[in-house]
Amino acid sequence: MEHNHISSSKNLKVKELSLLLEKSKHRRERALFCVEGEREVQNAISGGFTPYEIYYCPQIIDKNHPLLSLNIPTYSLSKDIYEKLAYRGGTEGIITIFEAKERSLEQITLSNNPIVVILESIEKPGNLGAILRTADAAMIDAVIICDPLTDLYNPNIIRSSIGGVFTQQVVCAESQEIYSWLKSNNISILTAELQASKWYTKTNLTKPSAIVMGSESDGLKTFWRERADYRIKIPMLGKLDSLNVSVSTAIICYEAIRQRGIY
């Protein structure tokens, strides 16, 4: 396919790219989002997302790269325009627009003995991205977000997850809907709380489990605390009273797979 070249920052395509990269409202209205970098773009395609348009910088990436041979509109950008658009450095000279898709609880495929991570009101994209990387590494069945404060297609989430937002089953839903879904699938609810009485290492994590994590600033809301089957905590031996939520999630997830003899 012939590649049209764009060298003006006033080009409408460039303005559209900029809006998709910067404005969550525009991403929602257009049902489109941007992905930068070879690895992230490939992960999105492998995750079943449909590419819509491709933009690349020929000074950075070879125009014969396999990703540039997809049968979709493809545009080359001058280096200065690409560098102004790129969310970060080192993205291998490629930005791809993808079609967004809604994912529901009913679409989640669970293993015979699932581990699910529930995140409540996580507001920092970097934390969510890090948790998605952990979920991928620990082969967590799904990451479910209740009361989301950021959209899943935020470029910082995509970047910090290295595309894990595409490799994982990630769903946003209301707390009550999630609770009903967990109960219908016989999944126990474990809430991580500072005031909990049981250490996470002393809790049986070998059966179907949902690990529920709250925000660092406010912790978990009453809804989840009242519905927990188990309340667990991580030892805090220093002067500070909490860990970063992505670190806490990783610790508990790896304890679950350790108890199950997965490694």
The pLDDT tens digits of the residues spanning 11-62 come to: 999 999 999 999 999 999 999 999 999 999 999 999 999 999 999 999 999 9
pLDDT recorded at residue 10? 93
pTM across the whole model: 0.89
Question: In whole angstroms, what is the distance from residue 54 CA to residue 48 CA?
Answer: 16
The pLDDT tens digits of the residues spanning 94-132 come to: 999 999 988 899 999 999 999 999 999 887 889 999 999
The pLDDT tens digits of the residues spanning 173-224 come to: 999 999 999 999 999 999 998 787 799 999 999 999 999 998 777 778 899 9
Q: Is the pLDDT of residue 2 over 70?
A: no
Query: Domains of the chain by range and CATH?
Result: 4-99 (3.30.1330.30), 105-259 (3.40.1280.10)
pLDDT recorded at residue 122? 82
Report helix, strand and coil shares of the chain as percent, to nearest 5.
35, 20, 40
- In this structure, are residues 72 and 94 in contact, taking their beta carbons and an 8 Å threshold? no
pLDDT recorded at residue 124? 85
> In 3-state terms, what secondary structure has residue 30?
helix
> In 3-state terms, what secondary structure has residue 158?
helix
Which helix (H) or strand (E) segment holds residue 119: the answer is strand 115-120
Question: In whole angstroms, what is the distance from residue 27 CA to residue 4 CA?
Answer: 24
CA 247 to chain centre: 15
